[in-house]
Amino acid sequence: MNIYFGDLHNHCNISYGFGDLENALHEARTHIDFCAVTGHAHWPDIFKRSKETGFTIDYHREGFKKLKTNWSLVTETIAKANEDGEFITFQSYEMHSSRYGDHHFLSPDDSLRLNPGDSPGDVISSNSSRVVAIPHHIAYSPGYRGIDWACFDEKISPLVEVYSKHGCGVSCESAGEYLHTMGPRDGRNTVYTGLKLGKRFGFAASTDHHAGYPGSYGDGITAVIAKNLTRESIWDAISRRHVYALTGDRIRCGFTVNGIPMGSKTPAADSTRINLRVEAVDFIEKAVIYKNLKPIKAIYREGFPIGSNLGKYKIRIETGWGRDTSPFKWINSLKIEGGRILSVDPCFRGQSVLAPKEGVDYSSDVNKLGNRITHQEDRSLSWECTTFKNPTTRHSATCAVVVEISGTPDSKLDIVLNNKEISITVDELREYGVSGHLKEYNSEAFLIHKAVPDEYYNFEMTCGTETKSGDFIHAEIHQVNGQSAWISPVFIK
């Protein structure tokens, strides 16, 4: 089985978002394996019009009308972008609901109909295509577009979106608080509460990006365990809940209970063997296996071995910062002496927009950025990316690549970031990260992060336990840099 990464919920100007659909699909193709560009379709119980709500109601209804008018063209464009073995697309649209919470509908069928309905079940039952309803930003207040666990139906919703630009809805204690104008996170509507109530679902994450940049780094992506990169194989994995949620870093995980993969159901047993395999991207802060939300085994950063030299490292090269509000283009390269490049993970961002603002508009090419890996061989790498001024001192607009290399402490990296040349050894990067600036003052800058040795990102842990019907077992991985993975539970039937 293979691991593929994608975004199952994001927006552009096919409804009330920004950026062209064609460009959104093009940008997605350069750095993720699959995506669904989602149109906003309807809101059956939208609030009443007032002086305060007029602008919000108008842009929603205009967006709904735009999607309905162009639905045939939208589905045709998305269908044409699908290419088995290269890049997978799904058809998708979204329903807002004050009562049930927001859901996006996902289908592998290009014949998906744009059907209205008062509930997610209504939309599903009125459609002849294969389709699932995925609740998202679930942790808003009940009755205020948060999920209604009493009405949740695992038959139509195999997955729940647990993380996005809105924040993390896993638990009250999870990093990633809700900061949008829609309000704070409510503990009654978190993932943990749903599981305690006996609801059964897998964990997904998506960006909910509104400006035509699927997979924007740090806003959420879904990892799928599938046989191959085809629409049918990815759809089968989604239907079986063989998925897990990621904030952004491509943490590669394998998780089984008595050999049964994540998201599955398995019989109760007196002796149950749990296995978690992880290839992280940064230093591990902790990895925990839970049964019924109680930890049964954990490993922390302090428990990893110290001082061994296994010859593999992950090095993150990050660019951005500065004070200029206009886009800034980076043309970068890397050559390695005394080692070779094993893999590269892109960490590319689009310009962040979450919802329309009165009096503010964006061009159709708002995120026509050209972020991409342009060249990769055993000992050389080139990439281009566009960055923006960080919107606040707590929110990043940088881009990066994470390069896994094999080598020794003496291996040398020759890096060119626009007009800056940096030569540094792995041994130096094992001690500290190195930063620099392109100009004398308040300019764009770069950071070559501290090298992460193999023994700090590659590990396996096992444990045993007794299980009974109704139990569920899942795992969570949290890195030092704040990036996380939430692995879909295995349910004991």
Predicted local confidence at residue 359, as pLDDT: 67
CA distance 100 to 446: 44
Q: What pLDDT digit, counting tens, does each position of 131-173 carry?
A: 999 999 999 999 999 999 999 999 999 999 999 999 999 999 9
Percent of the chain with pLDDT over 70: 98
CA distance 369 to 375: 17
Predicted local confidence at residue 304, as pLDDT: 77
Q: What is the mean pLDDT of residues 397-414?
A: 97
CB atoms within 10 A of CB 455: 15
476: helix, coil or strand? strand
Q: State the DSSP string of 204-258.
A: EE----SSS-TT-TTS-EEEEEESSSSHHHHHHHHHTT-EEEESSS--EEEEEET
Cross-strand partners of 164: 167
Q: Is the pLDDT of residue 309 over 90?
A: no
Burial class (CB in 10 A: 0-12, 13-18, 19+), 281: buried
Q: For 440, phi and psi rounded to 5 degrees? A: -70, -35
Cross-strand partners of 142: none
196: helix, coil or strand? helix
Residues 240, 263 contacting (CB under 8 angstroms): yes
Q: Are strands 444-448 and 312-321 parallel, antiparallel or unpaired?
A: antiparallel
Q: What pLDDT digit, counting tens, does each position of 103-123 carry?
A: 999 999 999 999 989 999 999
Q: Is the pLDDT of residue 256 over 60?
A: yes
Whole-model pTM over 0.85: yes
Predicted local confidence at residue 411, as pLDDT: 96
Predicted local confidence at residue 362, as pLDDT: 75
Q: What is the mean pLDDT of residues 82-109?
A: 98
Q: What pLDDT digit, counting tens, does each position of 2-25 carry?
A: 999 999 999 999 999 999 999 999
Q: For 248, phi and psi rounded to 5 degrees? A: -175, -50
Q: What pLDDT digit, counting tens, does each position of 210-228 carry?
A: 999 999 999 999 999 999 9
Q: Are strands 159-164 and 202-205 parallel, antiparallel or unpaired?
A: parallel
Q: What pLDDT digit, counting tens, does each position of 40-58 carry?
A: 999 999 999 998 899 999 9
Q: What is the mean pLDDT of residues 239-264?
A: 98
Instruction: For residue 174, give the DSSP letter.
Output: S
CB atoms within 10 A of CB 232: 13
In 251-311, the DSSP E strands lie at 252-257, 260-261, 265-266, 272-279, 284-291, 294-300
Percent of the chain with pLDDT over 90: 91
Residues 444, 319 contacting (CB under 8 angstroms): yes
391: helix, coil or strand? coil
Domain 2-248 has CATH 3.30.70.360: no
Q: What is the mean pLDDT of residues 27-42?
A: 98
- What are the structural domain ranges in the chain? 2-248, 312-454
CA distance 396 to 377: 29
Q: What pLDDT digit, counting tens, does each position of 322-381 carry?
A: 998 899 999 999 999 999 999 999 999 999 877 777 667 777 889 999 999 999 999 999
Q: Is the pLDDT of residue 238 over 70?
A: yes
Q: What pLDDT digit, counting tens, does each position of 429-471 carry?
A: 999 999 999 998 889 999 999 999 999 999 999 999 999 999 9
Burial class (CB in 10 A: 0-12, 13-18, 19+), 26: middle
Predicted local confidence at residue 307, as pLDDT: 56
CB atoms within 10 A of CB 267: 11
Find the Cα–Cα–Cα–Cα dihedral 340, 337, 281, 218, rounded to 10°.
-110
Q: For 270, phi and psi rounded to 5 degrees? A: -70, -30
Mean of pLDDT over the chain: 95
Residues 301, 478 contacting (CB under 8 angstroms): no
Predicted local confidence at residue 220, as pLDDT: 98
Residues 462, 276 contacting (CB under 8 angstroms): yes
Closest alpha carbon to 90 in 137, 121, 131, 123? 131
